[in-house]
């Protein structure tokens, strides 16, 4: 039986019949739009589907069941921290006082939310060892852009205008180099060292008067802590450059390593990873950014200010003239931040350290369980995730990591991240998180070991997986060559409006 | 740890398998000098106490006021089915559909979202979602520069100031020039984009323009001559970006019809709570010609090996995880769950319902205009509007603050929204939607009348 529902669904456009649905909104007076000139009006109604509410409900319930999710099973997607999403967080974000607050509401009306946001800034600063935090960025990549623009503004403010390079390791997330480009920098890619870490010596050699920043993910995307990070940070600062930490892997080091205290100048948080806010099928997230004191003037506007009388307010326009400006409209993804706040409060400082302890323990346990069957390229403790390689299996049987991933679906699991980072041949990046039981970890390890045996005994079984999913592997080439990106069958509402 | 799964001896069993005595051994690779001491955070809070704290914080916000605030985020009624569906864990606890075989729900929902927004905008290609209206507008402006290989963007001052500021931040980073098109200061077209000035800005042969950005309705609620702005832009070889509000597209001409190459905007009005600014839904749509320039994920229809219809992320060579520094944008995590909310909202409310939402807002806004005029605050502008308008109120900031004491959230002073426009020094931007009641309008008018007559607040806050 498939781990997800098996019944594919018609589109809402195919379900539509003229005259269905309606009755949600009272009809406006017939002349409501008479004062709008015809030239500004829509000539033909938009081709939206007409559905009854029972059909809408069934459609979205049935569609949802075609998804694998954390609430339905183990989702060890490396680099994404697919931990359990606590239900109180969903409840909290929906409280009418939070959900109903207009983003342009005067400060006096918004004291509860402003207090929460100000406290959250303080908590994130404490966790990261940074001096200040902006909550504005909407996602990790948005946080990266915010951070790199602040670094750019910092150098320029010192008349240091020739720094046009950003150094990133080849194992970095693709967002790092893409961010550097968006901020007008040239990316210099540094190859990894043989121990899986950043090649500290290559980085040091590449540092120079043109280096604006280095961007480091620590622990790395291989799940390894950079042991010589202190040395690299010193060299970076000696070269007049700043150090950016991609906080995607913060779940490994809560209460163990504070990047700001260690010498990083800027970092972003992925609250949808570390702080349990749901991933939503691709988003929303939030990507707060922490900075050391020398970058505070450049933080995006507005920040939340706590007045001496204990009240809170947003910064006024122009209050901090060196600010890089706005990264988006309004304050930020406040509903996501409410969830992160609840999560941090539920754990406290000691609980957050236990989160990392258990996440790292689970990853090392899985690694040990798998190391006789798969190659585990780096012989040292990992942090919250590790890379297992199926290179031997591929050479022996022709079964690739992609096939193993698809076969895992048959066994009831979401596959790990595959072929990332690219530095490991046939790699699988496995991140169990701290919220999975020992039984789940064991069953997953058993499944991966069983697949390795299947690869020897019946490679075609694995190569043709998944067998127990609503669809088989997809024709991605045709999808890209002849893109069909929208339904073209609807020609507009068929019935005249009932009023 | 509140969500930990381990029974009493599980950790010990795991440590034994690994062959170590303590989990601390797994952190030996952190240099001793860099190891953190205990975090100075409060003690863990049991769920009962946490829920009380959260309720108290939420209760400190005032959402009991009669609100006439819009300016880029709008109060709407949302059918109950929307949130009931969103609360299914299969939606909100899944991630990016990297494994399409077990992600057909999310993939089909994104395809349907793309199709719905294509129908509303009249454009061909809709991205799976962007962060919000501001970032979407900025990305749309960057698209025009990549497509034309020009580096100058003209943006109307009647585009939401937050969007303009976001665009400026992005443009500054990318080494592009963003210039503002002024507003008409007086006469029947006051408050709309100054087309004569636009023509002049476009005419400089030394500095060709990549894109012209204008909003419909504009930030003052006024309807622009979008067809003419598009003609002027295209006449100079520039692309035209229309900043849209999606509910209005039920009744207003869609961008595809008046020649916009790109539409960008805020999807919050489509069933997404106000939530003090987010999470919201950035909309980016474009013509087929610009498909390679659009940032963010796209989902396409295809088939599986057995010929069954299925959906998959496609044209990924634009994206950061494939192209790294050559990607169209750095966006990775997007707003998929909010795109889903918009789709469920549109499915539940239907084409006639959406039209009713837009038309009811227009009708209530006309009632509001009449009531406020009767109270001594006539409309400031002459151009047509849909459901948001500026009324003239002397000393608007002070009046706005005092109306708050009377329980009225009287929109936003235009001097706060567009501080550099002398013509807007004495105005309030107010908004009505289908949830605005006649009683609220009456309260607003009565309070304003009392305020303008200098009457003291009776009995404190309402």
User: Any chain B CB within 8 A of the CB of A284?
Assistant: yes
CB contact under 8 A, A104 and B69: yes
Domains of chain A plus CATH, in order, are 88-345 (3.40.640.10)
Q: What is the pLDDT of residue A491?
A: 55
Q: Which residue bears the tokens 């699991």?
A: A413
Q: What is the pLDDT of residue B319?
A: 85
User: Any chain A CB within 8 A of the CB of B462?
Assistant: no
Query: For A160-195, what is each residue's pLDDT tens digit?
Result: 999 999 999 998 899 999 999 999 999 999 998 887
CB contact under 8 A, A173 and B321: yes
User: Hey, which of A396-410, A414-428, A476-490 has the most confident mean pLDDT?
Assistant: A396-410
- Comparing CA positions, the residue from A151, A392, A350, A189 lying closest to residue B43 is A350
Cα–Cα distance measured from residue B363 to residue B357, given in angstroms and rounded to the nearest whole number: 10
Query: For A451-461, what is each residue's pLDDT tens digit?
Result: 999 999 999 99
Two structure tokens written together for A192: 């990894």
Question: Chain B interface, mutation test: which of A223, A304, A410, A474, most B Cβ atoms within 10 Å?
Answer: A474
At the top level of CATH, the class of B66-75+350-452 is alpha beta
- Residues A380 and A224 sit within 8 Å (Cβ to Cβ): yes
Q: What share of chain B is helix, strand, coil (3-state, %, to 5)?
A: 45, 15, 40
Residues 313-342 of B with CB under 8 A from A: 314-317, 319-327, 329-338, 340
In chain B, residues with a C-beta closer than 8 Å to the C-beta of A479 are 300-302, 312, 314
Residue A494 has pLDDT above 50, yes or no: no
User: Any chain A CB within 8 A of the CB of B277?
Assistant: yes
In chain A, residues with a C-beta closer than 8 Å to the C-beta of B227 are 39
User: Any chain A CB within 8 A of the CB of B22?
Assistant: no
User: Any chain B CB within 8 A of the CB of A303?
Assistant: no
Cα–Cα distance measured from residue A41 to residue A68, given in angstroms and rounded to the nearest whole number: 43
CB contact under 8 A, A32 and B249: no
Q: What is the pLDDT of residue A426?
A: 96
Cα–Cα distance measured from residue A190 to residue A82, given in angstroms and rounded to the nearest whole number: 29
- Comparing CA positions, the residue from B283, B258, B317, B303 lying closest to residue B128 is B283
CB contact under 8 A, A91 and B51: yes
Q: Which residue of B has its CA nearest to A70?
A: B93
User: Any chain B CB within 8 A of the CB of A311?
Assistant: no
Cα–Cα distance measured from residue B143 to residue A383, given in angstroms and rounded to the nearest whole number: 39
Q: Tell me the nearest-neighbour CA distance from B411 into chain A, angstroms.
A: 9
Its sign, for the CA torsion B294, B295, B301, B306, is: positive
Two structure tokens written together for A172: 């970095």
Cα–Cα distance measured from residue B173 to residue A148, given in angstroms and rounded to the nearest whole number: 9
Please state, in angstroms and as integers, the Cα–Cα distance from residue B62 to each residue in A113, A249, B132, B271, following that order: 10, 38, 24, 21
| Interchain CB contacts (distance < 8 Å): A and B | 705
Fold agreement between B66-75+350-452 and B81-344: no
For chain B, which residues make up each domain, given as ranges?
66-75+350-452, 81-344
Residues 32-51 of B with CB under 8 A from A: 33-36, 38-45, 47, 50-51
Q: How many CB atoms lie within 10 A of CB B316?
A: 17
Query: For A219-234, what is each residue's pLDDT tens digit?
Result: 999 999 999 999 999 9
Residue ranges of chain B whose pLDDT lies below 50: 459-462
- For A104, phi and psi rounded to 5 degrees? -100, 10
CATH of region B81-344, choose from 3.40.190.10, 3.40.640.10, 3.30.70.100, 3.30.420.40: 3.40.640.10
The DSSP call for residue A270 is: -
Please state, in angstroms and as integers, the Cα–Cα distance from residue A235 to each residue in A211, A243, A245, following that order: 11, 10, 15
- Residues B154 and B212 sit within 8 Å (Cβ to Cβ): yes
- Residues A132 and A294 sit within 8 Å (Cβ to Cβ): no
Q: What is the pLDDT of residue A493?
A: 44
Cα–Cα distance measured from residue A153 to residue A322, given in angstroms and rounded to the nearest whole number: 8
Task: Identify which of B54, B119, B274 has the shortest CB distance to residue A47.
Answer: B119
- Our CA angle for A92, A97, A100, nearest 5°, is 105
CB contact under 8 A, B351 and A3: no
In chain B, residues with a C-beta closer than 8 Å to the C-beta of A335 are 273, 275-276, 278-279
The DSSP call for residue A268 is: E
Helix (H) or strand (E) holding B439: helix B438-452
- Residues B41 and A398 sit within 8 Å (Cβ to Cβ): no
Q: Which residue of B has its CA nearest to A279?
A: B95
- Residues A39 and B228 sit within 8 Å (Cβ to Cβ): no
- Comparing CA positions, the residue from B96, B126, B97 lying closest to residue B311 is B97
- Could you tell me the pTM of the whole model? 0.97
Task: Identify which of A178, A258, A474 has the shortest CB distance to residue B100.
Answer: A474
Two structure tokens written together for A411: 């066994």
CB contact under 8 A, B104 and A66: yes
Pairing type for strands B211-216 and B262-266 reads unpaired
A499 pLDDT band (50/70/90 cuts)?
very low
Cα–Cα distance measured from residue B433 to residue B413, given in angstroms and rounded to the nearest whole number: 19
Query: How many whole angstroms from its chain centre is CA B376?
Result: 33
Specify which residues B311 forms β-bridges with.
B301
CB contact under 8 A, B115 and A487: yes
Tell me which long-range contacts A188-194 makes (C-beta under 8 A, separation of at least 24). Answer: A192/A423
Task: Identify which of B23, B94, B343 has the shortest CB distance to residue A69.
Answer: B94
- Comparing CA positions, the residue from A298, A432, A301, A460 lying closest to residue A370 is A432
Q: What is the pLDDT of residue B404?
A: 97
Residues 380-409 of B with CB under 8 A from A: 384, 386, 401, 404, 409
Q: Which residue of A has its CA nearest to B409?
A: A105
Residue A475 has pLDDT above 80, yes or no: yes
Sort B282 into a burial class: Cβ within 10 Å, 0-12 / 13-18 / 19+. buried
In chain A, residues with a C-beta closer than 8 Å to the C-beta of B366 are 32, 35
User: Any chain B CB within 8 A of the CB of A365?
Assistant: yes
Query: For A116-142, what is each residue's pLDDT tens digit?
Result: 999 999 999 999 999 999 999 999 999
Sort B322 into a burial class: Cβ within 10 Å, 0-12 / 13-18 / 19+. exposed
Q: Tell me the nearest-neighbour CA distance from A97 into chain B, angstroms.
A: 4
A496 pLDDT band (50/70/90 cuts)?
very low
Cα–Cα distance measured from residue B142 to residue B140, given in angstroms and rounded to the nearest whole number: 5
Q: Which residue of A has its CA nearest to B126?
A: A485
Please state, in angstroms and as integers, the Cα–Cα distance from residue A19 to each residue in A16, A82, A406, B350, following that order: 9, 42, 43, 10
Q: What is the pLDDT of residue A22?
A: 85
User: Any chain B CB within 8 A of the CB of A223?
Assistant: no
- Mean pLDDT across the stretch A290-304? 97
- For A438, phi and psi rounded to 5 degrees? -60, -40
B154 Cβ contact partners less than 8 Å away, ≥ 6 residues apart: B178, B179, B180, B181, B198, B201, B202, B209, B211, B212, B213, B238
Q: How many CB atoms lie within 10 A of CB B82?
A: 24
Task: Identify which of B105, B170, B298 has the shortest CB distance to residue A485.
Answer: B298
Two structure tokens written together for B371: 């009531």
Residue A492 has pLDDT above 50, yes or no: no
Q: How many CB atoms lie within 10 A of CB A488?
A: 13
Query: How many whole angstroms from its chain centre is CA A243?
Result: 21
Two structure tokens written together for B105: 């729900």
- Residues B390 and B379 sit within 8 Å (Cβ to Cβ): yes
B199 Cβ contact partners less than 8 Å away, ≥ 6 residues apart: B232
B83-115 core/surface letters (b: 16 or more CB in 10 A; e: else): bebbebbbbbbbbbbbbbbbbbbbbbbbbbbbb
Per-chain mean pLDDT for chain A: 95
Task: Identify which of A26, A328, A475 has the shortest CB distance to residue B134.
Answer: A328
Q: How many CB atoms lie within 10 A of CB B127?
A: 29
Q: What is the pLDDT of residue A197?
A: 79
In chain B, residues with a C-beta closer than 8 Å to the C-beta of A42 are 249-254, 257
Two structure tokens written together for A142: 């948005």
- Comparing CA positions, the residue from A178, A133, A142, A184 lying closest to residue A163 is A184
- Comparing CA positions, the residue from B310, B361, B335, B315 lying closest to residue B124 is B315
Task: Identify which of B11, B69, B359 has the shortest CB distance to residue A28.
Answer: B359
- Comparing CA positions, the residue from A360, A418, A343 lying closest to residue A116 is A343
CB contact under 8 A, A95 and B251: no
Cα–Cα distance measured from residue B289 to residue A351, given in angstroms and rounded to the nearest whole number: 52
Task: Identify which of B45, B100, B115 has the shortest CB distance to residue A13.
Answer: B115
Q: What is the pLDDT of residue B322?
A: 83
């Amino acid at each position: 039986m498939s781990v997800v529902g098996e019944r594919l669904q018609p589109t809402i456009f195919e379900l539509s019949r003229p005259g269905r649905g309606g009755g949600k909104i009272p009809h406006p007076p017939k002349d409501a739009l008479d004062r709008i000139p015809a030239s500004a009006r829509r000539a033909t109604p938009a081709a939206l589907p007409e559905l009854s509410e029972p059909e809408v409900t069934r459609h979205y319930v049935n569609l949802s069941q075609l998804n694998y999710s954390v609430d339905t099973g183990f989702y060890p997607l490396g680099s994404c921290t697919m931990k359990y999403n606590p239900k109180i967080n969903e409840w909290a974000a929906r409280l009418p006082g939070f959900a109903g607050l207009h983003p342009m509401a005067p400060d006096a009306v918004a004291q509860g939310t402003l207090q929460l946001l100000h406290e959250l800034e303080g908590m994130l600063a404490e966790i990261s060892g940074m001096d200040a935090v902006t909550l504005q960025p909407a996602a990790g990549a948005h946080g990266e852009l915010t951070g790199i623009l602040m670094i750019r503004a910092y150098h320029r403010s010192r008349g240091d205008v020739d720094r046009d390079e950003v150094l990133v390791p080849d194992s970095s997330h693709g967002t790092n180099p893409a961010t550097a480009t968006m901020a007008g920098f040239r990316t210099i890619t540094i190859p990894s060292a043989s121990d899986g870490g950043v090649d500290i010596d290559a980085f040091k050699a590449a540092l120079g008067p043109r280096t604006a920043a280095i961007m480091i993910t620590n622990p790395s995307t291989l799940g390894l802590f950079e042991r010589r990070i202190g040395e690299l940070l010193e060299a970076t600062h000696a070269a007049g450059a700043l150090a950016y930490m991609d906080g995607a892997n913060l779940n490994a080091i809560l209460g163990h390593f504070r990047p700001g205290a260690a010498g990083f100048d800027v970092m972003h948080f992925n609250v949808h990873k570390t702080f349990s806010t749901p991933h939503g099928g691709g988003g929303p997230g939030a990507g707060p950014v922490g900075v050391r004191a020398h970058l505070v003037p450049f933080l995006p506007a507005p920040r939340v200010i706590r007045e001496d009388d204990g009240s809170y307010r947003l910064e006024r326009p122009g209050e901090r003239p060196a600010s890089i400006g706005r990264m988006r409209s309004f304050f930020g993804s406040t509903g996501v931040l409410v969830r992160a706040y609840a999560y941090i409060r539920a754990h406290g400082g000691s609980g957050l350290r236990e989160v990392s302890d258990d996440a790292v323990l689970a990853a090392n346990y899985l690694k040990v369980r798998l190391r006789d069957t798969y190659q585990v390229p780096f012989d040292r403790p990992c942090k919250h995730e590790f890379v297992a390689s199926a290179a031997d299996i591929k050479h022996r049987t022709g079964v690739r990591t992609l096939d193993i991933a698809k076969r895992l679906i048959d066994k009831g699991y979401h596959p790990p991240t595959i072929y990332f980072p690219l530095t490991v041949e046939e790699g699988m990046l496995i991140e169990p998180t701290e919220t999975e039981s020992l039984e789940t970890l064991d069953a997953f390890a058993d499944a991966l070991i069983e697949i390795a045996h299947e690869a020897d005994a019946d490679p075609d079984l694995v190569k043709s997986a998944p067998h127990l999913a609503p669809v088989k592997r997809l024709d991605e080439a045709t999808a890209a060559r002849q893109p069909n990106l929208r339904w073209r069958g609807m020609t507009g509402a068929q019935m005249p409006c009932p009023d | 740890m509140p969500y930990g799964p381990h029974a009493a001896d599980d950790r010990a069993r795991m440590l034994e398998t690994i062959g170590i005595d303590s989990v601390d051994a797994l952190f030996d690779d952190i240099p001793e000098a860099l190891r953190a001491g205990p975090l100075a955070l409060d003690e863990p809070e049991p769920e009962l106490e946490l829920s009380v704290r959260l309720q108290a914080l939420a209760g400190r916000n005032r959402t009991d006021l009669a609100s006439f605030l819009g300016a880029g985020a709008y109060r709407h009624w949302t059918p109950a089915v929307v949130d009931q569906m969103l609360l299914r864990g299969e939606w909100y606890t899944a991630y990016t559909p990297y494994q399409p075989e077990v992600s057909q729900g999310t993939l089909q929902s994104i395809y349907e979202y793309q199709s719905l927004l294509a129908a509303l905008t009249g454009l061909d290609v809709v991205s799976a979602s962007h962060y919000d209206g501001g970032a979407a507008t900025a990305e749309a402006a960057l698209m025009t520069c990549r497509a034309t290989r020009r580096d100058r963007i003209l943006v109307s001052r009647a585009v939401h100031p937050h969007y303009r500021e976001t665009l400026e931040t992005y443009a500054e980073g990318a080494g592009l020039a963003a210039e503002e098109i002024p507003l008409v200061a007086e006469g029947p077209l006051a408050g709309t984009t100054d087309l004569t000035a636009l023509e002049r800005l476009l005419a400089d042969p030394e500095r060709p323009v990549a894109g012209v950005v204008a909003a419909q309705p504009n930030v003052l609620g006024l309807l622009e001559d979008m067809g003419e702005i598009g003609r002027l832009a295209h006449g100079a070889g520039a692309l035209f970006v229309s900043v849209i509000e999606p509910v209005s597209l039920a009744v207003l001409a869609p961008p595809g019809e008046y020649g916009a190459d790109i539409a960008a905007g805020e999807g919050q009005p489509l069933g997404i709570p106000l939530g003090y600014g987010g999470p919201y839904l950035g909309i980016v749509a474009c013509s087929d010609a610009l498909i390679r320039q659009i940032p963010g994920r796209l989902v396409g229809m295809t088939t599986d090996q057995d010929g069954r219809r299925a959906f998959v992320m496609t044209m990924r060579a634009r994206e950061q995880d494939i192209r790294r520094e050559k990607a169209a944008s750095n966006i990775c995590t997007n707003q998929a769950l909010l795109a889903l909310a918009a789709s469920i909202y549109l499915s539940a409310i239907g084409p006639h319902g959406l039209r009713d939402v837009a038309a009811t807002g227009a009708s209530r806004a006309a009632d509001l205009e009449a009531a406020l005029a009767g109270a001594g605050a006539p409309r400031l502008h002459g151009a047509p509007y849909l459901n948001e308008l500026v009324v003239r109120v002397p000393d608007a900031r002070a009046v706005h603050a005092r109306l708050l004491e009377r329980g009225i959230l009287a929109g936003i002073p235009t001097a706060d929204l567009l501080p550099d426009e002398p013509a807007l020094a004495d105005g309030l931007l107010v908004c009505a939607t289908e949830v605005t009641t006649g009683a609220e309008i009456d309260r607003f008018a009565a309070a304003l009348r009392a305020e303008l007559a200098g009457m003291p607040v009776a009995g404190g806050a309402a």
